[in-house]
Amino acid sequence: MKQILLISLFTSLSLFGANHIVNQKGKTFIPHEITVHPGDTITFKNSDPFAHNAYTDDEDNEFDIGMQPTGEDKIITVKPGNNFSVECAIHPNMLLEVIIK
Ligand SMILES: [Cu+2]
């Protein structure tokens, strides 16, 4: 019985991927490149005193976190697919490269 409980605990824990934190600060994604696995999550933080956004038009991982006010976290889950770029719709010079392994 104890063994069964341990196995089911291990199985449920392994379903969760790693979380990667990307900060938006100084109109820059920090870091500007991350390496992730499908099932991992990316937490976008906003440390600037104004709103940001993060989106990609990638066909496998398309998302748009919408308007992100200062101090608010937005979390997305990475799906299987190719590497993709994330931009901020408000500041077109912001760029994040997501490498999928
Ligand atoms: Cu921005």
pLDDT for 10 beyond 70: no
* CATH number of the domain enclosing 63: 2.60.40.420
- The answer to whether residue 80 sits within a structural domain is yes
Domain annotation covers residue 25: yes
Q: Which residues form the domain of 92?
A: 17-100
Number of domains in the chain: 1
pTM to 2 decimals? 0.84
Residues near ligand 1 ion, CB 5 Å cutoff: 52, 88, 90-91
CB within 8 Å of 54: residues ≥ 6 apart:
22, 24, 29, 44, 63, 64, 65, 68, 74, 86, 87, 88, 96
Structural domain includes residue 23: yes
User: Residue 14 pLDDT > 90, yes or no?
Assistant: no
Structure confidence by residue, pLDDT tens digits, 26-75: 999 999 999 999 999 999 999 999 999 999 999 999 999 999 999 999 99
Distance of CA 88 from the midpoint of ligand 1 (Å): 5
Q: Which position has the higher pLDDT, 100 or 4?
A: 100
Whether pLDDT at 13 is above 80: no
Question: pLDDT tens for residues 67-80?
Answer: 999 999 999 999 99
- The answer to whether residue 48 sits within a structural domain is yes
Q: Considering the domain boundaries, does residue 11 fall inside one? A: no
In this structure, is residue 9 part of a structural domain?
no
